[in-house]
């Protein structure tokens, strides 16, 4: 039958006036589209261009945002609720972005090579059970602790409040807080045959290599098992029940026959046995579809949900601690730069007066013990530093001390305390390994994490006490220098100061211990 006759027959079978497809828009694009995905609601379209720029458009072609991650985008998928977008990159990382503004929420390193495909599925049974109130996961941490602390930022940015963060931080907290989300799993595959599974897209719960999975092929009409040699993942699709995974891959399917007493050596030219023969028979190269049993996700979703909840929040709190320490370091370094900028002038004055063997510490100790004020010290206190300069330095140091106290009490310490509670929850969940054998957490690692968390909490409390002492000593030192300046202003340079034991200890502590 000719092709024209087939087309005519099909057109006669279709109802009159029916249009199966209708062109909505025909818009030009600056560059070639490499890949595109509709969101679950089918009203947003994410497109990746040839220049690795991602665009987000509405159904009416209105562009919401666009950005370039700076790396090659190799795969793309939506979170089941449509609020986040996952991008697979050529360096093996997966970046999660907020759909509202495109801001980066999280970067997960799950692969060592390019991520070829992504698939994000939500458990349909969990949704039904939620509606029937049969399955509700409650995070007990919120019973004993306030809201999770946020990452602090430098004052003067945005709203100017050191305790506030930008919208991406709020979105990240929503991404990390999994207690209210439907249970979902993000699957990713790479060209080396690795498939990784992450609960809620942020907590990696396992990985397999398709090359090491024994495969039965009923099409061959036998009971032998095979393996995929040099397989590369092309597509992965997780079922709605999360119990089955369909893998589309390329590679060579070979029979898995290895003699019981002889080991085969894998060389660059292929796999050969001791006698030079190949251990594989009946090889077939091409595109293969493999069905894997992932019912463990369905059977243990409650446990995985709890572990993902605790682990993802602990990961976020560790980031709060890291950023808090980094911010405190920057703020204290800024205050010490202001301090050194002013008090380093005394060294230059001593050198200019020929006192090469005389140090600023010796000058202040001489003044503290009531000796005559040297010309360099007098010039420094009266002219170079002065009351105005001393007030600026004192304000910088005291201000940094107050900001550090705020970060400790509002960010650092609450984060460590919450981590301690969540690790304690994981310690109870670590008993699963003994119960379910291959499933569960390593109890020894969890106990080690519990010990480390306790030590960290002790160090944070100790650091808060040391900081209070250091700020108090700096205040005493500045008060003493201020009194010296006021006395030296109307008096001659041979003015003698009476020693003060408390001030002496304060000065020695600040200059020689130099905790700053």
- Read off the pLDDT of residues 376-401 as tens digits, 9 standing for 90 and up: 888 888 888 888 899 999 999 999 99
Going from the C-alpha of 101 to that of each of 69, 85, 105, 164, 190, the distances in angstroms are 14, 11, 11, 19, 28
In this structure, which long-range contacts are made by residues 289-292, counting pairs with CB atoms below 8 Å and at least 24 apart in sequence? Answer: 289/246, 289/247, 289/248, 290/210, 290/213, 290/215, 290/228, 290/246, 290/247, 290/248, 290/249, 291/244, 291/245, 291/246, 291/247, 292/208, 292/213, 292/244, 292/245, 292/246, 292/247
Tens digit of pLDDT for each residue in 214-256? 887 665 566 778 888 889 999 999 998 888 999 999 998 887 7
pLDDT given at position 178: 53
Q: How many CB atoms are located within 10 Å of the residue 242 CB?
A: 26
In the chain the first and final C-alpha atoms are separated, in Å, by: 91
Computed over every residue of the chain, the mean pLDDT equals 78
Q: With bands split at pLDDT 50, 70 and 90, how would you rate the model's confidence at 271? A: very low
What is the predicted pLDDT for the residue at 192? 93
Average pLDDT over residues 270-281: 44
Residues 6+ apart with CB under 8 A from 11: none
Supply the pLDDT for residue 371: 63
How many helices (H) and strands (E) would you count in the chain? 14, 18
- Residue 501 confidence (pLDDT) above 60: no
pLDDT-derived band of residue 315, with 50, 70 and 90 as boundaries? confident
Residue pLDDT, tens place only, 109-154: 889 999 999 999 988 765 545 444 444 556 777 778 877 788 887 6
Lowest-confidence region among 284-293, 348-357, 410-419, 475-484: 348-357
- pLDDT of 160 above 60: no
pLDDT tier for residue 402 given thresholds of 50, 70 and 90: very high
Here the tokens at position 331 are: 């703020």
Q: Which of 247-251, 429-433, 489-493, 499-503 has the lowest mean pLDDT?
A: 499-503
Q: What is the pLDDT of residues 337-346, one digit of tens each?
A: 999 988 888 8
Place of tokens 């460590």: 416
Decide: residue 189, CB within 10 A, 0-12 exposed, 13-18 middle, 19+ buried: buried
- With a CB cutoff of 8 Å and minimum separation 6, the contacts of 158 are 164, 166
pTM across the whole model = 0.68
């Amino acid at each position: 039958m000719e092709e024209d006759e087939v087309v005519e027959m099909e057109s006669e079978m279709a109802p009159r006036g029916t249009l199966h497809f209708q062109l909505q828009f025909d818009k030009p694009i600056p560059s070639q589209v490499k890949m595109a995905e509709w969101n679950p609601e089918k009203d947003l379209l994410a497109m990746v261009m040839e220049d690795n720029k991602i665009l987000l458009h509405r159904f009416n072609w209105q562009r919401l945002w666009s950005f370039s991650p700076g790396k090659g985008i190799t795969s793309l998928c939506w979170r089941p609720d449509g609020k986040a977008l996952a991008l697979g990159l050529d360096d093996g990382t997966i970046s999660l972005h907020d759909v509202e503004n495109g801001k980066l929420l999280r970067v997960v390193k799950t692969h060592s090579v390019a991520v070829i495909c992504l698939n994000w599925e939500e458990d349909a049974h969990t949704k039904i059970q939620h509606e029937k109130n049969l399955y509700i996961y409650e995070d007990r941490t919120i019973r004993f602790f306030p809201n999770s602390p946020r990452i602090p930022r430098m004052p003067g940015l945005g709203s100017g409040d050191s305790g506030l963060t930008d919208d991406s931080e709020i979105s990240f907290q929503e991404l990390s807080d999994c207690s209210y989300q439907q249970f979902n799993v993000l699957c990713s595959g790479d060209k080396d045959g690795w498939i990784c599974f992450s609960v809620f897209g942020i907590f990696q719960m396992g990985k397999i290599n398709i090359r090491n999975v024994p495969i039965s092929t009923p099409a061959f009409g036998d009971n032998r098992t095979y393996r995929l040699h040099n397989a590369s993942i092309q597509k992965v699709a997780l079922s709605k029940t999360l119990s089955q995974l369909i893998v589309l891959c390329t590679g060579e399917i070979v029979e898995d026959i290895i003699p019981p007493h002889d080991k085969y050596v894998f060389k660059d030219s292929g796999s050969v046995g001791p006698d030079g023969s190949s251990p594989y028979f009946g090889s077939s190269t091409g595109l293969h579809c493999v069905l894997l049993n992932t019912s463990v996700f369905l059977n243990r979703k409650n446990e995985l949900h709890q572990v993902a909840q605790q682990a993802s929040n602990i990961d976020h709190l560790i980031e709060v601690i890291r950023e808090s320490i980094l911010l405190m370091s920057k703020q204290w370094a800024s205050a010490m730069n202001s301090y050194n900028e002013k008090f380093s002038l005394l060294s230059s004055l001593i050198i200019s007066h020929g006192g090469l063997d005389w140090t600023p510490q010796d000058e202040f100790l001489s003044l503290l013990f009531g000796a005559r004020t040297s010309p360099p010290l007098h010039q420094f206190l009266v002219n170079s530093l002065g009351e105005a300069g001393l007030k600026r330095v004192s304000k910088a140091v005291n201000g940094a001390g107050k900001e550090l106290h705020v970060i400790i009490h509002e960010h650092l310490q609450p984060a460590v305390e919450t981590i301690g509670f969540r690790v304690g929850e994981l310690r109870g969940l670590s008993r699963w390994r003994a119960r379910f054998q291959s499933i569960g957490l390593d109890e020894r690692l969890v106990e080690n994490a519990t010990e480390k968390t306790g030590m960290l909490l002790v160090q944070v409390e100790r650091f808060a006490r040391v900081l209070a002492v250091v700020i108090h000593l700096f205040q005493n030192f500045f008060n003493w220098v201020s009194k010296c300046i006021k006395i030296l202003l109307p008096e001659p340079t041979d003015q003698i100061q009476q020693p003060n034991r408390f001030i002496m200890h304060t000065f020695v502590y600040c200059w020689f211990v130099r905790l700053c």
